[in-house]
Amino acid sequence: MTAVGAAERGLAPAGLRLRLDAALRISPDGRTLLGGSPGRLLRVAAAGADLIRAWDAGTPIGTGTAQRKLARRLLDAGMAHPLRDPVDRVADVTIVVPTFERTAELTRCLTALRRTAPDAPIVVVDDGSPATAGIPDVAARFTARLVRHPERRGPSAARNTGLAAVTTPFAALVDSDVVVPDGWLHALRPYFDDAAVAAVAPRVLGHGEGHGWLGEYEAAHSPLDMGPSPGLVRPGALVPYVPTATLLVRMEAVREIGGRFDVDLPIGEDVDFEWRLVDAGWNVHYVPAVTIGHDHRTRLRPFVARRRLYARSIGLLERRHPGALPAARVSPALAAACVLLAARRPVAVAAAGVAAAVGVGLVARQLKPVVPEPVAEAARLVRNGLPVTAMGLARAVGRVWWPVLVPVAVAAPRWRAPLAVAVAAPVLADWWSGGRRPRLDRYLAARVLDDVVSTAGTWEGSLRAGTLGPLLPAGTRR
């Protein structure tokens, strides 16, 4: 990268409008900001506080270097999100569609692509489909360039072949079982006007409302749906990864990390690709305002196989990116308080109070240089953090730890109720808060299946990779 390019990546674009993150807390004087993902504390000068107020009111970022640096800090911390207007032309984006045998799905996909982006070049990569599949005819019908593998090499190799054929500055990787809506590319392309952005991903939802018990569950709880809140993608963040069902990339950034997905990774290579971009200093944006349709697995065998595959990838990713995928990411002091409270014994409850007080003290020490009343603010953070920590531990119980904790509950009856609550609470919370709420009995059946398969896959993948990282909690610093 040129020196000019590196300098531009350190500055937010002039003229960009920002939206402050909904969870961001700002002190009354505007100089202390608490939030972002992962959470952090940011202190700014009085002039910076004035700028942030102006940006929040809709004023674009100016041309001055100082304010562009401040805006970059907010963006990189996840304390603010860019607001982008759609562009008219997207001819500088090449659409890459890898496929294997899916003739009907490819036809549906290309129909939507040509309708929504008639000027964009399209490359179809046939990953060794039999001649009877008719992939060349479909590609020709939609004036797409066809690149063919003589034998099947896998989706990562197909994506790499497509990326190697790209001559434009940007590429859009689109799976053949995806249907894009009108305006999708015109809405996502402007994010690359920020020189620090390497990739942009929309929200992935299933086609329609979902049918059958697994279809309803996938519509409400798909692993490809990263939720309604925008964010930067990075380990430990609210959006730790995005699916590559549809992913726009900057070719300069792709070439900087080797120009390819790692085909030596049998699973998890898409998440590894994104994290290598992040490790190289680039930003990856999740933009849920744009949604695409995807074929979910609604039959039992494909559902189980896919969930197991996703879970098994965790061990391999932990070896490549140590500490990125713990079973739970919690404050040690708050986690200790939650466990002691669950013991339901007077001495344990008293010890929980001590643990919480220790947590308040640790947080207050960090806040003291920048907050007028550090103890009060620390107490508020700990109070709000306890239920979040409890839910994080409960999710780890249901998705990772239950094979170890069930024998504990059998041997120690007083732990049965807390563990039952830990298993049930996340399930019911997810069902209640989901935008598409299926019938409870059908949801519970699918969720139990999902948790059992995912737990087995996590343990299998971790032990095969020779790592305990995904089976253990990791601490956080507030």
Which residue positions in the chain have pLDDT lower than 50? 2-4, 477-478
Model pLDDT, residue 266: 81
56 and 166 assigned to the same domain: no
Residue 310 lies in a domain: no
336 and 460 assigned to the same domain: yes
Model pLDDT, residue 163: 97
Residue 316 lies in a domain: no
Q: Is 385 helix (H, G, I), strand (E, B) or coil?
A: helix
Q: Rounded CA gap, 457 and 450, in Å?
A: 10
Whole-number mean pLDDT of the chain? 90
Please say which residue of 250, 281, 298 terminates a domain.
298
Model pLDDT, residue 208: 66
Q: Rounded CA gap, 87 and 305, in Å?
A: 40
Residue 288 lies in a domain: yes
Number of domains in the chain: 3
The amino acid sitting at 246 is T
Model pLDDT, residue 158: 96
97 and 187 assigned to the same domain: yes
Model pLDDT, residue 3: 45
Please say which residue of 25, 56, 83 terminates a domain.
83
Sign of the Cα pseudo-torsion (67, 73, 76, 80, in order): negative
Q: Rounded CA gap, 230 and 27, in Å?
A: 23
Sign of the Cα pseudo-torsion (439, 440, 442, 447, in order): positive
54 and 113 assigned to the same domain: no
Report DSSP letters for 34-76, one per residue. Answer: EETTTTEEEE--HHHHHHHHHHHTTPPP-S-HHHHHHHHHHHH
Model pLDDT, residue 313: 93
220 and 194 assigned to the same domain: yes
Joined tokens for residue 442:
């059908």
Model pLDDT, residue 478: 38
Residue 323 lies in a domain: no
Residue 32 lies in a domain: yes
148 and 245 assigned to the same domain: yes
207 and 69 assigned to the same domain: no
pTM for the predicted model, two decimal places? 0.90
Q: Please state, in angstroms and as integers, the Cα–Cα distance from residue 204 to each residue in 127, 222, 227, following that order.
A: 23, 9, 9
Residue 66 lies in a domain: yes
Beta strand residue intervals within 207-282, DSSP E = 231-232, 246-250
232 and 107 assigned to the same domain: yes
255 and 291 assigned to the same domain: yes
* Residue that has been written with the tokens 């531009």 in this structure: 8
161 and 190 assigned to the same domain: yes
Region of residue 356 (phi > 0: left; psi between -120 and 50: alpha; otherwise: beta): alpha
Q: Which residues of 5-35 are buried (b: 16+ CB within 10 A; e: fewer)?
A: eeebbebbbeebebebbeebebeeebbbbbb
195 and 163 assigned to the same domain: yes
| Nearest alpha carbon to residue 34 among 77, 83, 81, 82 | 77
Joined tokens for residue 239:
């959006």
Q: Rounded CA gap, 203 and 228, in Å?
A: 8
Please say which residue of 83, 109, 133 terminates a domain.
83
Write out the residue range of the structural domain in which residue 465 sits.
Answer: 328-475
User: What CATH number is associated with residue 263?
Assistant: 3.90.550.10
Q: Rounded CA gap, 263 and 260, in Å?
A: 8
373 and 459 assigned to the same domain: yes
Residue 372 lies in a domain: yes
Residue 197 lies in a domain: yes
